[in-house]
Structure 1
Amino acid sequence: MADIRKISIEEFHAELRAQGASGKQHLAFRCPMCATVQSAASLMKAGAGENFEQVEKFLGFSCVGRFTNAGSPRRAPDDQPCNWTLGGLLRLHKLEVVDGDGECHPRFEVATAEEAAALETLNG
């Protein structure tokens, strides 16, 4: 199993702020299986919900491909989303956010500022 990077909630929020997104719907994450960069706006476009509040529970946790009938996780990234979620038995994620009680919460990796900006432009 790969090493899992553990960060505090404060560090997690700082990494998200560093993306410079114009709104919370454009905060971007990278799926650990297919490497697709996605945001709440991506999830809404895929039909996961109509607004941020409805898709927030999937953000950084379930790949957008779960809502577009994508196939199983890829053997190698191919710019296509997959149906991966962090709610299963396999622990293949690379990031955990540690809350104030010391509990670890698996999350997709935070995308870079450049990745987030490109996705925001794509999503409009």
Structure 2
Amino acid sequence: MAEVIPVKEFHRRLNAQGVSGRQHVALRCPMCGTVQSATSLIKAGAGSDFDAVEKYLGFSCVGRFTGAGSPREKPDGEPCNWTLGGVFTLHTLEVETTDGKRHPRFEVATPEEAQALEASHG
């Protein structure tokens, strides 16, 4: 069963990561464990800027844009081709908007993970 949090709590968790901007907030793919951000998606070719990749952030693994294969039996931190838009509902987080709708999302990365990812992107 997925954890359900209100959108304000989702934003609070992202803001608590302490990164320098929205392009660096980080989420973790529930299937492979890869920590990724909008910058990761841009570098993978998913789009040219935040606005172009925002629809994929926390919904489609960066591996979908790098030619990665399916998730492995155990998360290994290497990207996969997973997306939350498929038939299987294996996500662990849902964000509930003010209209009561629930949206599946990747797990929010820890502040340490988000900051390390930002540093790795230079």
Q: TM-score with structure 2 length normalisation?
A: 0.98
Q: Residue 115 of structure 1 is aligned with which of 97, 100, 113?
A: 113
Single out whichever of 68-77 and 28-37 deviates more from structure 2. Answer: 68-77
Shift of residue 74, structure 1, vs aligned partner: 1.4
Q: CA offsets, 1:12-63, max 9 Å, x none?
A: 0000000011011000000000010000000000000110000000000000
2: distance between equivalents of 1:23 and 1:58?
Answer: 17
How many residues align? The count is 122
Q: Residue 27 of structure 2 is aligned with which of 26, 29, 32?
A: 29
One-letter identity of the residue aligned with 1:62: S
1: distance between equivalents of 2:46 and 2:84?
Answer: 16
Gaps of 5+ in 2: none
Q: Residue 86 of structure 1 is aligned with which of 64, 84, 98?
A: 84
Gaps of 5+ in 1: none
Shift of residue 77, structure 1, vs aligned partner: 1.6
One-letter identity of the residue aligned with 1:65: G
Q: Residue 11 of structure 2 is aligned with which of 10, 13, 16?
A: 13
2: distance between equivalents of 1:101 and 1:42?
Answer: 30
One-letter identity of the residue aligned with 1:20: G
Equivalent residue for 1:103? 101
Matched, 1:75 2:73: yes
Q: Percent identity?
A: 66
> Which 4+ stretches in 1 moved above 2 angstroms?
none
Tell me how large the CA RMSD over aligned residues is: 0.6
2: distance between equivalents of 1:74 and 1:43?
Answer: 21
One-letter identity of the residue aligned with 1:36: T
